[in-house]
A and B are shown apart, each in its own frame.
Chain A
Amino acid sequence: MTTLRSRWLEILAIGVIGVSVLRSMTVEADVVQGDVQRIMYVHVPSAWLAFLAFGVTVFGSVAWLRTRDRRWDRLAASSAEIGVVFTGLAIAAGMIWARPVWGQFWTWEPRLVTTALLFFIYLGYLALRRAVIDPEQRARRSAIMGIVAFIQIPIVYESVNWWRSLHQTSSRSSIDTPLRITLLLGVVAFTFVYAVLLRRRLELARLEEELETRRFESSQDVAGAAITPPSLASVEQHD
């Protein structure tokens, strides 16, 4: 019973994902593209989730700089990790969708290029976190980078409007209602997935920090034990 109560978010997420998958498989297909269009229900929510995750990273970074509370740093880092995964998923789903529709996996299209660079920016953010060992220094440096990195988000979002290319512009008004509802359901389902993953990752990050602290403390003991002062009696005997 306790387990069920503590896992309410996971159970809810599974339910919403189930409904979303069912709906995306049964809703009428696009007249022009056919069934391949259904990948939109993965591609668009993944991209949305990436934006949300990186937005949370900025929020966590600003909050850490204001409060210096470790929890905000964990939030920023955990959210960035999830954001990178879902940016990768959005790119992969987009490439799979592009193959039958555009005739190739990759085109030098502004949305694709800016999204790929976004992926690398946050890979850099995660690389920076790994490169700094001291937790305080890591939090400080990555908080700054987490804020600066967000400059890219409006550019990725606006790229389809600035350069009219192969990628369609914001699709909210241009798609039929049943498809739009399915898409919204996908966005909600993916948001639940994000919440579940973030919750788990935060817990993991807290445990990692605890482990780090324990290792540090135990290493302190060993270093102290290695130094044994000479006994006063033995020194006097030699004299």
Chain B
Amino acid sequence: MSFWRQVFEIARKDLLVESRTAEVALMTAPFGAAALILIPLAIGTDAPLLSQLGPGLYWVVVLLFGMLVILRKSAVDGQPQRDLVRLLGIDPAATFAGATIATSLLVLFFEIALGPVLIALYNPELGSWPWLFVILPLVAAGMGMLGTIASGVTTSIGTRTSLTPLLIVPLSLPLLLGATQALEGLRLGRSIVPWLILLVSVDLALAVSGVLAARPLEEAVT
């Protein structure tokens, strides 16, 4: 089986599990939407203020609640599943790439699902909104890769559910910065190219780290 076929099969497996449980669609996304409804009650329901803060709050919700999307995979994949993948002779880099693609697609779905909630409740100025088709996938890919690496590092550790977010949240700062500053740039009519370069650079760095770490990670969970 070719490398890309392995990647496809791993991603398909993860997405199939999600399609059966619909955890992200039926649980995590509504949970994130509920958070977006609750925040104005805490900071005040001033419409101009909410319009200004909306995009930033959206990214914070995506980042924090996206943890649930990321942690979901490591909770589903037990030792028997990992052993089976290993016995099938799947390339560890393909396992990493497949898992990353599946997680990134789920995070992207989560981002898109929260988009209408943001627009309806906060009425943000989006400016050149077609740029979102670039920004959203870049953030989702970064979170997917970071999540796959961190989940791999914390697999089968007792404190995994608290340790994984501690590892991911501070490390996702460049993603949060790139996303919020790019949206701010769009709103103010400034160039967003430096922020896109930041997002692409972080994604590339994570992709290289993930592929290189794939084999040691697989050995670590043996």
By a beta-carbon cutoff of 8 Å, the part of chain B in contact with chain A is: 146, 149-150, 152-154, 157-159, 163, 166-167, 169-171, 173-174, 177, 194, 202, 205-206, 209, 213, 216-217, 219-220
Contact = CB atoms under 8 A, between A and B. Distances in A.
B173 A140 contact: no
Q: Which 5 A-B pairs have the closest CB atoms?
A: A117-B170, A124-B166, A120-B170, A144-B213, A121-B170
Given A114-B173, A128-B154, A155-B177, 16 more contacts: A117-B170, A120-B169, A121-B171, A123-B166, A124-B163, A124-B166, A128-B157, A131-B158, A143-B216, A144-B152, A144-B220, A148-B149, A151-B174, A151-B205, A152-B173, A162-B194
B118 to A, nearest CB: 22
A151 B206 contact: yes
A26 B82 CA distance: 64
Contact of B171 (A65, A144, A148, A162): A148
Contacts of B167: 121, 124-125, 128, 145
Pick the most buried of A65, A140, A143: most chain B CB atoms within 10 A of its CB.
Answer: A140
A219 B202 CA distance: 46
Interface of A: 65, 114, 117-118, 120-121, 123-125, 127-128, 131-132, 137, 140-141, 143-145, 147-149, 151-152, 155, 162
What is the interface of chain A mostly: helix, strand, loop, or mixed?
A: helix
Contact of B149 (A118, A144, A155): A144
A74 B35 CA distance: 43
A141 B221 CA distance: 9
Contacts of B163: 124, 127-128, 131
A127 B158 CA distance: 12
A117 B149 CA distance: 19
20 contacts: A117-B170, A117-B173, A120-B170, A121-B170, A123-B166, A127-B166, A128-B163, A131-B158, A131-B163, A141-B153, A144-B152, A144-B153, A144-B209, A147-B209, A148-B149, A148-B209, A148-B213, A151-B174, A152-B171, A162-B194
